[in-house]
Structure 1
Amino acid sequence: MLLKDFYKLKSLDKTAEGKYTACITINAAHDVFKGHFPGNPVTPGVCMMQIIKELTQQVANTPLTMKSASNVKFMALINPEVTPELKLELEIAGLDGEEIKVKNTTCFNDTVALKLSCNYSRN
């Protein structure tokens, strides 16, 4: 985990071939929220992208490097004091190859907060 204690993985389940669902809880008391933003915490988009990478690494059981990201859409602010529980749906292709492709949708309650597609390579 790049940011120690930033989030807690509650579950990571394979739901179908190449599809996974993760449930996490963001730590609203983490130091990153002291600066992003004081009195109105917002989960940084780059932190969400790192979480997706870390979950993909766990599924692939190998370190990864992001090669590209496309269709990155931050659709709602994630305030960890209001909605710390997030559900991430990952569609992962290429686990047997050198390039791994991921499509992600991140939600809290019924709200889509983030959608993105990433390409990773094995380190």
Structure 2
Amino acid sequence: MSGLSRRSPVIADVRVRAGLTADGAKWRAAASALITGDEPVFAGHYPGFPIFPGVCVLECVTRGAELTSPEPAVLTGIESARFLGAVFPGDEIDIALEWTGRDGDWVCKAAVTVGSRKVGSVRLGYGVAA
């Protein structure tokens, strides 16, 4: 992203809850974000029944991944994203991250929950930063 500014519709603060730990060939970490009613996207998605858009959940996952990557890395692609449930104002999303090496690069899998409710799963590709 050299030279480009990064803008986001998400104001939530994504925090690391559990730092990176090795588990065999995998690295695990956890992050979370409190989604307050102040999120600008709630104004239009859906008035009277606000739902945090899936793309915003994806943004939180990407931020969590960037805060916990095993080494400096650059997002190369969203390999998959499934949204399984809604996120509402006041929900705290928990993001369980699992990093695995792949051909000199990285794959980050994330499971997103609100309490015991599954709300999404994401797989991101990362290249080692030069």
User: TM-score if structure 2 supplies the norm length?
Assistant: 0.76
Q: Deviations over 1:37-61 (max 9, x none)?
A: 1111111111111111111112236
Q: Secondary structure, in 3 states, of the residue corresponding to 2:13?
A: strand
Runs (4 or more) in structure 1 with deviation over 6 Å come to none
Please state how far the C-alpha of 1:2 moved relative to its aligned partner.
3.8
Taking only the aligned residue pairs, the percentage that are identical comes to 19
RMSD value over aligned CA atoms? 2.4
Q: Say if 1:105 and 1:114, in contact at 8 Å, map to a contact too.
A: yes
Q: Secondary structure, in 3 states, of the residue corresponding to 2:8?
A: coil
d(CA) in 1 for partners of 2:127 and 2:72?
10
Matched, 1:112 2:118: yes
d(CA) in 1 for partners of 2:73 and 2:42?
27
Q: Say if 1:91 and 1:104, in contact at 8 Å, map to a contact too.
A: yes
Distance 1:108 1:62, change over 3 A: same
Supply the AA of the counterpart residue of 2:98.
Answer: E
d(CA) in 1 for partners of 2:16 and 2:77?
27
Q: How many residues align?
A: 118
Q: Say if 1:100 and 1:121, in contact at 8 Å, map to a contact too.
A: yes
Residue ranges of structure 1 left out of the alignment (5+ in a row): none
Residue ranges of structure 2 left out of the alignment (5+ in a row): 1-5
Superposition pairs for residues 1-123 of structure 1, below 5 Å?
Answer: 2-3=7-8, 6-14=11-19, 16-17=21-22, 18-60=27-69, 62=72, 64-70=74-80, 72-81=81-90, 84-94=91-101, 97=104, 99-122=105-128
